[in-house]
Amino acid sequence: MKRPVLIAVSLILWAQGSWGAEISTPRRAELLNLLKHDCGSCHGLSLKGGLGPALTPDYLVGKPIDFLVATILYGRPGTPMPPWRPFLSDPEAFWLAEQIKAGVR
């Protein structure tokens, strides 16, 4: 995703105050299940890579959260990475990106 798009997404989310929204405990469990099963189907069940790249803290060093959130929400054109925007809210994508970056499985 190009930098102007990332900046625009970041500004929109910041303006909406989406980053700090609370995610319920049951929804967090659903998101972790999505990470394990849906993301794991391409990124490997241990998220160490497969069809898609690894989603490990070591691999993601230097990748900003807003980049990960934009990738989750809008996919990566020209790759198998689909947009998850129809299924995830901005706060959910942000929470999921934080979990991935922290190595939570």
Encode pLDDT of 38-82 as tens digits: 999 999 999 999 999 999 999 999 999 999 999 999 999 999 999
Cβ–Cβ under 8 Å, residues 90 and 15: no
Q: pLDDT at position 15, please? A: 41
Mean pLDDT, the chain, rounded, equals 87
Q: pLDDT at position 7, please? A: 58
Domain locations along the chain = 30-102
CATH fold label, 30-102: Cytochrome Bc1 Complex; Chain D, domain 2 (1.10.760)
Tell me: pLDDT of 103 over 50.
yes
b/e map 30-69, b = 16+ CB within 10 Å: ebeebbeeebbebbbeebeeeebbebbeebbeeeebbbbb
Say how many C-beta atoms besides its own lie within 10 A of residue 22's C-beta. 9
Reading the block at residue 33, the tokens are 């299940």
Cα–Cα distances in angstroms (integers) from residue 80 to residues 1, 42, 72, in the given order? 14, 9, 12
Q: pLDDT at position 16, please? A: 44
